[in-house]
Amino acid sequence: MAKKVNPLSEGAVIALETLQAAAAGATLQELNADAAAPIASAHLTALARRGLVSSEKVEKEVVSVRTVNAYTITEAGMNYEEAPDAE
């Protein structure tokens, strides 16, 4: 007797359809840019376990986003005068 296979989740179906429409392989981020709904990595893992997609490690150059301090001058800074040298 064959083992019953659960149907794909809605997210996995969306992931599969989005990947089918892609001209070449795509990363999760690239798939999410084109998807009708958010795709999670678990959706792709489910597809890979069923042999519907394959995955490979690739190197992508990406721009990193960091939180940094941005400074603007205040009124006090605009009016600042250096104190004369004490003698």
**What DSSP string runs through 16-76?**
HHHHHHSSS---HHHHHHH-SS---HHHHHHHHHTTSS---------------------HH
The yes-or-no verdict on residue 1 having pLDDT over 80 is no
* Domain limits, the chain: 10-78
**CB-based contact 39:32 (threshold 8 Å):** yes
Note the pLDDT tens digit of each residue in 33-80.
888 889 899 999 989 988 899 888 888 887 888 787 777 777 878 787
3-state secondary structure of 15: helix
Note the pTM of the prediction, 2 decimals. Answer: 0.65
pLDDT band for position 2 (50/70/90)?
Answer: low
CB-based contacts of 53: which residues, under 8 Å, 6+ apart?
16, 19, 44, 47
What pLDDT, on a 0 to 100 scale, did the predictor assign at position 73?
74
